[in-house]
Structure 1
Amino acid sequence: MNFNLLIENLTNPALLFFVLGIVAVYLKSDLEIPPNSSKFISLYLLFSIGFKGGQELSHETLTSEIGWSMLLGISISSLIPFYTFFILKKKLNVFDAGAIAAAYGSVSAVTFVTAVSFLESQQLTLHGHMVAIMALMESPAIIVGLILISVYNKDDSQKIQKRAVLTHSLTNGSVLLILGSLVIGFLANAKQAEGIKPFTNDLFKGFLAIFLLDMGITSGRKLKSFFSFGWFPFVFAIIIPLINGCFFAIVSSFVTSDITNRFIFAVLAASASYIAVPAAMKITVPKANPGLYLPMPLAVTFPINITIGMPIYFLVVQLF
């Protein structure tokens, strides 16, 4: 493995702020980011990525490669929850297995944002259509997870409100904002985009660092109670994302030869949702345990991906 790349990633200021957040929790510090500020920063990051992606997309030509890439993204989001459900069901009940499988099939917008920052550190630029693919991958996993719960659920008192979750998975704020920003960025001409460039570009890394500080604080708090569930969820949250990321880093080569696209596919396959899926499961599968499907993606998988995962996926993409 390229240890220089790993060390460079581990000394990234944004990542170190994430570590600072975890340290603050264990030192019992009163450090925290106000909830309204945290929400604003997350909205800003999604807006910035969406808008810049739209600008990039406006300079791209719609090709069969982009069409196949979109199909691959949807396939990844549908396949991962299907096979992980049966692994999880060996140790967990149907409701927890379905909720966790949906989380690992869906994507983390914050992991995606961090991956974009990683690419920039390698002097590489994200292609605009990958933003659209990321947004498309949010919902299929939720739907597959709920179908699996419905099929294997023997408790008639715990039937799923399918219409509610379908509506939520297609209209939740993160998907709507990033797709809307993508369309606006696509429609805006270069002169119009230049007017807000200081906001969309220059402030991005600073806001990302503060947001990861907040994520570190949240992760540190979730980890405390998470270890009470035993070794299986913890090992799953480490191993499965790394396998998914490396596998689809290789598989994506059949669709695109572009290193940045393949790296993003690997990161999306390895990431897990801790915003959209928990919100959907809280509404539709109240019997699923949020003490599992929330800290697994946030407190274990997210740190693994942004520390050692991304350098590994980048190396696999280069080797294969």
Structure 2
Amino acid sequence: MIAALLSPMVLFFGLGAFAALARSDLAIPEAVGKAMAIYLMVAIGLKGGVAVAAEGFTTELAVATILGLLLSVALPLPAFWLLRRLGRQSATDAAAISAHYGSVSVVTFVAGIEMLKLAELPASGYMIAVLALMETPAIVIGLLLARWATQQGGVAASRLAHETFFNGSAVLLVGSIMIGLVVGNDGYAQVASVFEAGFRGVLCLFLLDMGLIAARRLRETRSLTLRLGMLAILVPIMNGSVGTALAAMVGLGIANAAAFGILAASASYIAVPAAIRMALPEANAGTSLAMSLGVTFPFNVTLGIPFYIWLARSITVS
């Protein structure tokens, strides 16, 4: 945990958060932030596709895929209940927030993969494919929860499907995985110098930007109560523990169990907000982002990821 907290990624995130809380004028231009996000998603997608192409479609990949889909469908349900009972949220807001916590954060996963490497526990390349598959089902479950609880009609299925499956992050990540599958190691070698040498440096700068955004969002929002702040930590711990334990139980190994914990604990703040904004415009987007980006993301990057790695080691060893 100490090594993770002192890693360059976490320290740069902390620097950004400190600058925002100190009301510094430090800022990363939005266009630069988007460019770094594109770079990171392409890099992680390419690497995942190349790894899957090298390893082949194995039984372990099939088990991981099924587990990832089941988690993405199931995780919004307890989150919805907790948000209704303890968070005192309306059905619509609880459904919107639960969709965020059932889906995944690419940046949290990338930071987790790097911390796993520092711990000499590299996760399998197919976990990138699991990441891509886990983005969408939680959105559908969240919307179904909202319609069930409020008995309202929904937005046109075609519009929702387009926003869900063809948002920018989904297209870029899945497309990069497919390209990696097609080109394999030989093709990737032609661009490896770009996506290998600069990856950790760009990740540090991106996390600096995320620290600025997260702290400013937390400072400015007025909809984040103490109860919701506590749930923004409790829900990822609960989800991450379940994901880690299930992955260890099915024999995916320490590194992949920790990676599953990181995926299950992360909360989307890119893909899900775009879909929810269109399908549930009445939901309070500020609350969802304040919880997922302002509380859960900093918690996972600093304390959560080391905890899931420790838990994976403990469960697998025992």
* Structure 1 stretches lacking a partner, 5+ long: 1-5
Count of matched residue pairs: 313
- Is 1:286 the counterpart of 2:299 in the alignment? no
Of the three residues 235, 242, 254, the one matched with 1:259 is: 254
2:231 equivalent in structure 1: 236
1:37-58 CA distance string (max 9 Å, x none): 1001001001001111111111
1:248 equivalent in structure 2: 243
* % identical aligned pairs: 38
2:30 equivalent in structure 1: 35
**Which 10-residue stretch deviates more, 10-19 or 164-173?**
164-173
**Which 10-residue stretch deviates more, 247-256 or 129-138?**
247-256
- Is 1:132 the counterpart of 2:146 in the alignment? no
Contact kept? 1:53, 1:126, Cα under 8 Å: no
- Is 1:148 the counterpart of 2:145 in the alignment? yes
Task: Return closer, same or farther for 1:246/1:208 CA change in 2, 3 Å cut-off.
Answer: same
- Rounded to whole Å, the distance in 1 between the matches of 2:247 and 2:127 is 13
Contact kept? 1:219, 1:298, Cα under 8 Å: yes
- Rounded to whole Å, the distance in 1 between the matches of 2:290 and 2:68 is 25
Letter in 2 for 1:105: G
Letter in 2 for 1:199: V
Once the two structures are TM-superposed, the CA of residue 97 in structure 1 deviates from its matched residue by 0.3
Instruction: Give the TM-score normalised by the residue count of structure 1.
Output: 0.94
- Rounded to whole Å, the distance in 2 between the matches of 1:181 and 1:280 is 21
- Is 1:93 the counterpart of 2:90 in the alignment? yes
User: Match of 1:128, SS?
Assistant: coil
- Is 1:114 the counterpart of 2:121 in the alignment? no
The aligned runs of 1:171-210 (5 Å cut-off) are: 171-210=166-205
Once the two structures are TM-superposed, the CA of residue 73 in structure 1 deviates from its matched residue by 0.2
1:3 equivalent in structure 2: none
- Rounded to whole Å, the distance in 2 between the matches of 1:115 and 1:25 is 24
For the aligned residue pairs, the C-alpha RMSD in angstroms reads 1.4
- Rounded to whole Å, the distance in 2 between the matches of 1:44 and 1:192 is 18
Of the three residues 284, 290, 293, the one matched with 1:298 is: 293
1:315 equivalent in structure 2: 310
- Rounded to whole Å, the distance in 2 between the matches of 1:191 and 1:229 is 49
Once the two structures are TM-superposed, the CA of residue 159 in structure 1 deviates from its matched residue by 4.0
Task: Return closer, same or farther for 1:210/1:152 CA change in 2, 3 Å cut-off.
Answer: same
- Is 1:270 the counterpart of 2:233 in the alignment? no
Instruction: Give the TM-score normalised by the residue count of structure 2.
Output: 0.94
1:255-310 CA distance string (max 9 Å, x none): 23322211111001000001111111111111100111111111100111111111
- Rounded to whole Å, the distance in 2 between the matches of 1:86 and 1:135 is 26
User: Match of 2:127, SS?
Assistant: helix
User: Match of 2:268, SS?
Assistant: coil
- Is 1:220 the counterpart of 2:215 in the alignment? yes
1:54 equivalent in structure 2: 49
* Structure 2 stretches lacking a partner, 5+ long: none
